Amino acid sequence: MKELITLTTIKTAATRLTAHTHLTPLLTSTTLSTLLGPCPSTTTPRTLLIKAENLQRTGSFKLRGATNAITKLLESDPVGARQKGVVVHSSGNHGQAVALAAKRAGVPCTVVMPRDSPGVKLAAVEGYGATIVLCDRALTSREQTTQEIVDRTGATFIHPSNHPDVIAGQGTVVLEMLHQAAEMGCPLDTVIVPVGGGGLLSGCLVAGKSLLPNLRIVAAEPLLADDCARSVRANEFIPAGPPKSICDGLMSSMGTLTWPIIRDHVDEVRTVDEASIVKAMRVVWERMKMVVEPSAAVGVAVALFDEGFKAREGMRNVGVVVTGGNVDLDCLPWGSMK
């Protein structure tokens, strides 16, 4: 199924997104690069580069895939799209993104969300004019509620990750990273990408490996939601279990499109515990002065605190996708800031 998502479809998506998404910065931090540490055998300094998708419109990378999918839908069925609308299920970031993309395009949008979604995400989805339908957090509940809406209204379902146009849109992240890093004189040899449903990771794999076959792409995953790591080890798809991690944006399971791409092309999957995720999140807040959510800090946690990853030879310039910044400020993991 990889042929549905190619470098050509990703480059086409990048053209579509130009007027609708930010070119988010690729940032460096002396403190974070120091924490990554030098190359083990030569002590040559290494550089950590942060792709700040928390500064994207709607606060996450999800606007890329949502905008590409909505644009493609309007190209193929403009009347039906505006009459019947679209529906998604999302813990928040995908819902916000589709809600905004649909609003811009004049397409009605319904977002199915877990009842315990962060308040900031619920408020944002509502603010973009979408209709919210609440359900239980379990994936089966999200899918059942969404299907009932599709059956009743004829709305088009836009999956948060297992959708070729969404994947192509997300893959534009690594196109930008590689170009920006080269312009900075820090060509990337390694990219760390968080993985939940796998839309971002699979898009980055297709784009990155097509442009630079030797580029090392590492998936980052919470230890308490490690279905990707377990699947890769077993070489067979293992669905996500009940959610346990602080990373609410990484609770989705891989799908029929994303899993084969990840299985065949990811170089490694690294897992990190909750304490490391919170520590990484705080480092980014304190040292880079950026608001990032727990799911976005997983890749940073791998780069800074995973000793097995840091000990690998051959890494000089490491890029990390920081995926979003939609944090419920009343629920900060290190305590109240009130």
Verify whether residue 289 is a known catalytic residue.
no
Count of C-beta atoms within a 10 Å radius of residue 296: 34
Q: Which two tokens stand for residue 187?
A: 């060509």
Catalytic residue among 91, 161, 245, 295: 91
Q: Which residue stretches of the chain are H helix? A: 7-17, 30-36, 62-76, 78-84, 93-105, 119-127, 139-153, 164-183, 199-211, 227-234, 258-265, 274-283, 294-305, 307-310
Q: Which two tokens stand for residue 105?
A: 């395009």
Residues 196 and 93: beta-carbon distance below 8 Å:
no
Catalytic residue among 51, 60, 62, 252: 62
Residues in contact with 58: Cβ distance below 8 Å, sequence separation at least 6, in sequence order: 93, 96, 97, 100, 124, 128, 326
CB hemisphere CA count around 314 (13 angstroms) = 7
Q: How far apart are CA 300 and CA 319, in angstroms?
A: 9
Which CA distances in Å does 176 have to 49, 71, 85, 224?
A: 12, 20, 31, 31
Residues 205 and 217: beta-carbon distance below 8 Å:
yes
Verify whether residue 60 is a known catalytic residue.
no
Q: Which residues are catalytic?
A: 62, 91
